[in-house]
Amino acid sequence: MSDYDFVALMPLLLLAGSSVLIMLLISIKLSHRTIQLSSLLLFIVAFSALFFIQKLLPYSIEPLLIIDGFSVFIMGLIIFSSLVVNIFSYIYFEEKEESPKEYYVLLFLCTLGACVLAVSKHFISLFLGLEILTVGLYALIAYLRARHHNIEAGIKYLVLAAFSSAFLLFGMALIYLESGSMEFSAIARKLHLIQSLSPLFLTGLGMMLVGIGFKLAIVPFHMWTADVYQGAPTPVTAFIATASKGGVLAVLFRFFVLIDGYRFKVVMLILIGIAIASMVIGNLLALQQKNVKRILAYSSIAHLGYLLVAFIPGSILSIQAFCFYLMAYLMTTLTAFGVITILSNKENDAEDIESYKALFWQHPVLACIFSAALLSLAGLPLTVGFIGKFYILAAGFQAGFLVTVLILVISSVIGLYYYLRIITTMFAGRQGLLPEEKKAHPVFYMISVLVLSVLTLLILWFGVYPSGLMHLIKDFQIK
């Protein structure tokens, strides 16, 4: 390994080192507050390391990893999401019965896994990253182990994720059998020589898609989503919805672009089918939910469908649309879950839609933040979600995928209904059910609200003035 390798790997090394460091800090019996603050500091260090390695790009560490503009962007999103989740975690876990300290170790490991996914260009690193991510998540989801919902969600996730990993491995093995390599570009070279896919290769791809599909929770592999979202502690749900999906999507995108899967009609048809099914079914299932976390779970299925629509054309505009929408989705989802976290109390999460009644008059700031996040998820102007959706529509339209574009439009109108339902609940009635503001941790409460406000301002800022962000993602190329 050369010195440059070390520099280029810095963000990953920092994340890995942080988890060890936090473990040591726990062993000398520091308080929750110290641990939380030091992990926040370490996240910030890891995040700023990303700026430090800009000069080296693109840099590949053969044969496993590639660090280019795209992967640094995705890593930035992942680490940023974890950072925000980390901030919300304090007030959530401080009141809970479990000791919250090991939580931060696991958070670092999961972030590391997601980041490895974002930089991998080889099946081995893909699998390693995915397993680091999911093994960490098993523990995180069931973290409050005395609670039924947590255990249920943890077991569900454990069984399904292990199952899907098996599918993924088998798919990789089949592709290896056909192409004789596990590196994406080598597979691409092999594929380049053939015109149509052999059945074995297709099976391999299909099995990989099953594995990845489970992690992404796209239809028809979405069954676990609502239960896990509901059962997991809210900050963990936020992490699943943002960082973990970002990493998996990035590697899927890279793999698909590198092997040029766009050439094969069968694969494209399957992807289009999945995208359409995710958009429609996700939005339809969310309509009748009464639990906000479940609503957000189903809406995340729909949003993954939208992201696939951006992914399908495979053009330059498509990468941009993908990056932009992913960023918009992460920011917005973090904000939404942040509000839920802040409103949660010792016994229960604020997940019942009834508990949001009259929030507008009780906590006007939080209610405005939540509305902005929901409107952005619904894709209304003045929010970043609108520009993102516009970008996706443009990408789809440019490549002539009219059916997917039309279905995106129709399903997002359906989706509007449940977002509006939450907002309507917030301004209905006069007397709320939620307790008064938390006084127990005023400092952390203020910090969390501050972070949420900043996120909301970003949502609005990028919704009105997206040029800066577009400039940033303009030059991304995967090949």
Q: Verify binding: residue 398, another protein, rule CB under 8 A.
A: yes
> How many residues at the interface with another protein, by CB under 8 A?
29
Q: Which is nearer to another protein, 88 or 322 (CB)?
A: 322
Q: Which is nearer to another protein, 55 or 471 (CB)?
A: 471
Q: Nearest distance from residue 306's CB to another protein, in Å?
A: 13
Buried b (16+ CB within 10 A) or exposed e, 175-208: beebbebbbbbbbbebbeeeeebeeebbbbbbbb
Identify the three-state secondary structure at position 122.
Answer: strand
Q: Which is nearer to another protein, 250 or 358 (CB)?
A: 358
Contact 67, 55 (CB under 8 A): no
Residues 6+ apart with CB under 8 A from 405: 309, 393, 396, 397
- List the x/- string, 299-338, binding to another protein by CB under 8 A: ----------------------------------------
Which of 224, 227, 207, 204 is closest to 216 using CA atoms? 224
Q: Nearest distance from residue 310's CB to another protein, in Å?
A: 14
Q: Which is nearer to another protein, 175 or 359 (CB)?
A: 359
Q: Which is nearer to another protein, 89 or 376 (CB)?
A: 376
Say how far apart CA 247 and CA 126 lie, in whole Å.
Answer: 10
Contact 422, 374 (CB under 8 A): yes
Site stretch for another protein (CB under 8 A), options 14-22, 194-202, 222-230, 378-386:
378-386
Q: Which tokens hold the place of 162?
A: 């292990």
The correct pick among 29, 55, 471, 479 for binding another protein (CB under 8 A) is 471
Q: Nearest distance from residue 371's CB to another protein, in Å?
A: 9
Q: Verify binding: residue 288, another protein, rule CB under 8 A.
A: no
Q: Verify binding: residue 386, another protein, rule CB under 8 A.
A: yes
H or E element: which one contains 107? Answer: helix 101-119
Site stretch for another protein (CB under 8 A), options 57-65, 153-161, 183-191, 403-411:
403-411
Q: Nearest distance from residue 410's CB to another protein, in Å?
A: 8
Q: Which tokens hold the place of 351?
A: 């997940």
Buried b (16+ CB within 10 A) or exposed e, 267-294: beebbbebbbbbbbbbbebbeebeebbb
Restricting to residues 408-447, name those near another protein by CB under 8 A.
Answer: 409-410, 412-413, 416-417, 420, 424, 427-428
Q: Verify binding: residue 344, another protein, rule CB under 8 A.
A: no
Q: Verify binding: residue 467, another protein, rule CB under 8 A.
A: yes
Q: Verify binding: residue 362, another protein, rule CB under 8 A.
A: no
Contact 67, 53 (CB under 8 A): yes
Q: Considering Cα of 313, then 317, then 319, then 324, what sign does the dihedral take?
A: negative
The correct pick among 138, 176, 397, 445 for binding another protein (CB under 8 A) is 397
Q: Which is nearer to another protein, 261 or 466 (CB)?
A: 466
Site stretch for another protein (CB under 8 A), options 248-256, 343-351, 394-402, 439-447:
394-402
The correct pick among 405, 407, 422, 452 for binding another protein (CB under 8 A) is 405
Q: Nearest distance from residue 327's CB to another protein, in Å?
A: 15
Q: Nearest distance from residue 120's CB to another protein, in Å?
A: 30
Give CA separation, 447 vs 179, 346, 351, 423, in Å. Answer: 52, 19, 22, 24
For residue 15, is it left (φ>0), alpha (ψ between -120 and 50) or beta? alpha
Q: Nearest distance from residue 392's CB to another protein, in Å?
A: 11
Residues 6+ apart with CB under 8 A from 272: 312, 401, 403, 404
Q: Verify binding: residue 458, another protein, rule CB under 8 A.
A: no
Q: Which tokens hold the place of 241?
A: 């919805």
Q: Where are the beta strands (DSSP E) in 275-426?
A: none
The correct pick among 285, 375, 455, 459 for binding another protein (CB under 8 A) is 375
Q: Which is nearer to another protein, 403 or 443 (CB)?
A: 403
Say how far apart CA 454 and CA 256 lie, in whole Å.
Answer: 35
* Residues at the site binding another protein, with contacts judged by CB under 8 A: 361, 375, 380-382, 386, 390, 393-394, 397-398, 405-406, 409-410, 412-413, 416-417, 420, 424, 427-428, 465-467, 470-471, 474
